[in-house]
Chain A
Amino acid sequence: MSIISVRHLNYRYPLKKELTLVDLSFAINKGEFIGIVGQNLAGKSTLCQALIGLVPHFHKGAYGGIVEINGINVQESDVNTISEKAGIVFQNPFTQISGSKLTVYEEIAFGLENLGIPQKEMKMRIDQALKLLDIYECRNQNPFELSGGQMQRMAIASIITMRPEVIILDEPTSQLDPKGTEEVFRAINALSKEGMTVIMVEHKIESIAKYADRIMLMANGGIIDFDSPQKVFSRADILDYGVPPPVYTQICRQLGIRNKNTGLYPITLEEAYEWMVSTE
């Protein structure tokens, strides 16, 4: 069953001449892990914001088409109602901190307080999220004192405690070091395993190739391809859209190592290794 359905979505920012999103139509199933790739300005972030209703409710401009999330028409609803269905985590961990709370625990509670969730329920959800994302030991620290990876996981915790069915992540690791990136990917993978629908924009191709069920390749506001990672990254023309395939795929393509039946190349380290060893 599809949890997100987008039909002929067009969008243009105020004061801009060209469309940022051009006639997008697709559907996402419940529990899927979707990776969105594409070069800068391809429209990835704008699409994320359209799925959550920030476009057109926060950013005005010209809007056309239908975005439905769990049966709710985003344009006819409001951000509050949608935020109970879907949450979003942004690139910069700093600007997501409300700045009004002194501890991580209280910061995560911020959204829940706004929704009027009873105290007992709040604590239960926060404890659960802290443990799932492996930041339980930082719960009494000041949010501004966390490392980037911890801060970003706190931002994720703040969203998932609101119990959305979909979580959207817009380049959540771009400002993190390798360790922080690893921590965030592990956390998101844990969420995905719990059955949450995950939509993630990411430049770290090797990581997204490893975790995603499907990859959406975007360019110039449109969708070029939306298929299994292996199919998308095996495209001969993918670099034309400003996206390099994973290093493993590039190597195997040059060495001609591929699946005889499907003609597709390996996309992860393990796959590449296995296929290389078996062809020797």
Chain B
Amino acid sequence: MVIKALSLYQDRTSLVHTIDPITKLVFILFSLSFPLILQNIYWSVGILIFCILLLLLGKVFKQTLPILGLSFILLLSILVIQGLYSPKNETLFFSVGFIRFYEEGLLVAVRIILRVTTLLCSVCILVLTTKPSDLIQSLMKKGLPAKIGYVLNSVMQIIPEMRSTMATISDAQRSRGIETEGKLITRIKAFFPLLGPVIMNALVSTRERSMALEVRGFNSTAKKSYLVEPTFSRIGFPLQIVMMVVLAGAIGWRIFQ
């Protein structure tokens, strides 16, 4: 039985990987708010291109594509709906038969698409190039309670473990003549025989695990130490400052414009 951890992290060596998680979090904030403040579509395109460059630099662009692909369908529908039906629509952009697309609506849609894509890309930079445990550890050092940190960390492993328990339970009930596949009514009938043991198992193992954690100092009031102190490039902090300054500048420019 192989239990795979739920993590999108890609283990590569790149400059992006050496940047600390906090800086990457700040970058997500930056890449979202900067174009918002400036309200200029060229800046939005610029930031998106910059994100893609970072993904390429981090050697994880290929892993971003399926995520973008999934959201593409949703974004396409925004384009169609806004282009056709936006209340602001005045200027006809083009028409296919009796279907008319308007400039205003399309522009709104493009802005939304740019924003969502930028968000996805900057989140991908964080998620694909940062070990989840490093991210959580960094957050814990910034004041995230240790217990929440534990929960976040363990979700990655406990969910796959629960999935394998569920497979066993499904086997056990199928062995007693229950069908779990096929028509909806069959599936509904199989629901309780599957759910009952899943809940009981979860309760039992949670109780056992909490005892095991208890005797391993989980509620200790001592200041936590860390086995591994991940080393990140020192450039992170200056980068955070630069982003903050640029943002402040952008806000100032908007106010005094």
Contacts and interface: CB of A to CB of B under 8 A. Distances in A.
B117 to A, nearest CB: 31
B150 A100 contact: yes
Contacts of B225: 112-113, 115-119, 122
Most buried by B among A58, A95, A101, A123: A95
B3 A80 contact: no
B144 interface: no
B217 A96 contact: no
B217 A115 contact: yes
Nearest to B221: A80
A114 B217 contact: yes
Contact of B220 (A115, A118, A119, A158): A115
Interface residues of A, number: 41
A118 B224 CA distance: 9
A96 B209 CA distance: 6
A116 B220 CA distance: 9
A116 B224 contact: yes
A106 B137 CA distance: 13
A144 interface: yes
A248 B228 CA distance: 51
A99 B209 contact: yes
Given A99-B158, A122-B225, A142 B219 contact: no
Contacts of B229: 119
B199 to A, nearest CB: 16
A87 B217 contact: no
A58 B211 contact: yes
A158 B220 CA distance: 16
A98 B150 contact: yes
A79 B227 contact: no
Contacts of A265: none
A276 B63 CA distance: 71
A117 B3 CA distance: 30
A90 interface: yes
Nearest to A54: B211
A89 B110 CA distance: 59
A64 interface: no
Interface string A118-156: 110011000000000000000000101100000000010
B11 to A, nearest CB: 11
Nearest to A84: B217
Given A80-B219, A122-B225, A99 B157 contact: yes
Contacts of A95: 205, 208-209, 212
A162 B154 contact: no
B216 A123 contact: no
A92 interface: yes
Contacts of B3: 142, 144-145
Interface in B118-146: 133, 146
Contacts of A113: 224-227
B5 A54 contact: no
Interface in A7-48: none
A100 B226 CA distance: 13
A109 B227 contact: yes
A118 B227 CA distance: 8
The 5 A-B pairs at the shortest CB distance, nearest first, are namely A100-B153, A111-B216, A114-B217, A116-B222, A95-B208
Interface of A: 49, 52, 54, 58, 79-80, 83, 87-88, 90, 92, 94-96, 98-102, 105-106, 109-119, 122-123, 142, 144-145, 155, 158-159, 162
28 contacts: A52-B215, A54-B214, A79-B219, A94-B205, A95-B205, A95-B209, A96-B208, A96-B209, A98-B212, A99-B154, A99-B161, A100-B153, A101-B153, A102-B133, A105-B227, A114-B217, A114-B224, A115-B217, A116-B220, A116-B223, A118-B225, A119-B226, A122-B225, A123-B227, A142-B5, A144-B160, A158-B216, A159-B215
Given A95-B209, A99-B158, A119-B227, 14 more contacts: A49-B211, A79-B219, A80-B221, A87-B215, A90-B208, A96-B212, A100-B154, A100-B157, A109-B227, A114-B218, A115-B217, A123-B227, A144-B157, A145-B3
